[in-house]
């Protein structure tokens, strides 16, 4: 498919996923219903989502030179994703994912990419880009690309799964931040007053409105559009000082929530690259993420045509 491409920069992992009847307790062994080895990580799954939706996609990440890195690179290439590897050696981080069969909920343990040395990317990677997605990992590389994207007028979307040290510098170049329900700023980082909300018909968030104050605090760091997802609940939105919500479609039986947030961000980025407004792009992301939880794995919806 021709047209502007989605550039995703951030974490790629190799995921070992096992589906269980129940999570094991201390010193307990359980037999899994199934097991799979798959590519994961927020930026990688977002790139896979954008590619599955038909957008030309580039993933800027840190893989390395070992056999696991080659396995990940081959799988991404098979899905039509161009990869720029910023790592000169090593292997991609490994994640262990335990999915509870009855609820689709998952528990994840991962080495992530903390402390990994990577090269800074060339800003020419943004040539032809319609949107840039960053996930808070590989912060120096992401900040370089985000600053260049801002100067080019390319919208920058943050997958805010959790706060990372130094994220403030990246947020200064972010247009749209979509936060998870687990996202929280460090103690003392929330403002006592949010100037953008000081309009005659809008009330300042009260002391018990923790979400309102969080959205306002993140907006003060740079993004003009901030949203926060809540699983099956409505997505809270702050745009131009106005608080709204976007509904999440009912999905019936949930098979697997693994990667649903990544799908949300990847589908939102794909819609942004197509020229959609921020609200329409986020609504498209919500719809795709809602479909995804009816299928196993982060990309089961794409494989089965869901």
Structural domain contains residue 169: yes
Q: In terms of residue numbers, what domain contains 294?
A: 5-12+40-93+119-303
Is residue 185 within 8 Å of 177, Cβ to Cβ? no
Structural domain contains residue 113: no
Structural domain contains residue 114: no
Q: What is the pLDDT of residue 2?
A: 66
Token pair for 279: 């609200």
Lowest mean pLDDT among 68-77, 141-150, 168-177, 203-212: 203-212
CA distance 44 to 6: 12
Structural domain contains residue 23: no
Structural domain contains residue 125: yes
Give the pLDDT mean for 4-12. 97
Q: Say how many domains are in the chain.
A: 1
Structural domain contains residue 112: no
Structural domain contains residue 111: no
Looking up residue 251, the CATH number of its domain turns out to be 3.40.1190.20
CA distance 88 to 190: 38
User: Could you report the per-residue pLDDT of 192-235, keeping only the tens digit for each?
Assistant: 434 444 443 344 565 568 899 999 999 999 999 999 999 889 99
Q: Where are the alpha helices (DSSP H) in 153-277?
A: 167-171, 210-220, 260-273
Structural domain contains residue 207: yes
What is the reported pTM?
Answer: 0.87
User: Could you report the per-residue pLDDT of 51-61, keeping only the tens digit for each?
Assistant: 999 999 999 99
Give the pLDDT mean for 163-181. 95
């Amino acid at each position: 498919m021709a047209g502007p491409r989605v550039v995703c920069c951030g974490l790629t992992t190799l995921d070992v996923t096992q589906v269980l009847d129940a999570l094991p307790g201390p010193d307990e062994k359980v037999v899994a219903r199934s097991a799979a080895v798959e590519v994961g990580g927020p930026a990688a799954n977002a790139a896979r989502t954008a590619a599955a939706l038909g957008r030309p996609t580039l993933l800027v990440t840190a893989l390395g030179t070992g056999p696991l890195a080659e396995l990940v690179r081959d799988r991404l290439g098979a899905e039509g994703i161009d990869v720029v590897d910023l790592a000169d050696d090593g292997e991609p981080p490994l994640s262990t994912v335990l999915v509870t069969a009855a609820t689709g909920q998952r528990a994840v343990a991962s080495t992530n990419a903390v402390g990994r040395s990577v090269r800074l990317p060339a800003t020419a990677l943004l040539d032809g880009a319609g949107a840039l997605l960053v996930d808070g990992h590989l912060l120096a590389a992401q900040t370089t690309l985000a600053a260049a994207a801002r100067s080019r007028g390319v919208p920058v979307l943050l997958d805010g799964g959790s706060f990372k040290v130094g994220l403030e510098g990246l947020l200064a170049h972010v247009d749209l931040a979509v936060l998870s329900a687990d996202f929280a700023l460090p103690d003392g980082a929330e403002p006592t007053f949010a100037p953008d909300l000081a309009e005659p018909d809008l009330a300042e968030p009260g002391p018990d409105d923790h979400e309102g104050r969080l959205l306002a605090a993140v907006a003060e760091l740079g993004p003009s559009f901030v949203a926060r997802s809540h699983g099956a609940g409505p997505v809270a939105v702050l745009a131009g000082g106005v608080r709204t919500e976007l509904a999440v479609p009912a999905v019936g039986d949930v098979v697997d929530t693994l990667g649903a947030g990544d799908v949300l961000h990847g589908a939102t980025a794909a819609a942004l690259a197509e020229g959609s407004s921020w609200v329409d792009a986020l609504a498209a992301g919500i719809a795709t993420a809602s479909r995804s939880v009816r299928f196993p794995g982060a990309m089961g919806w794409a494989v089965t045509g869901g």
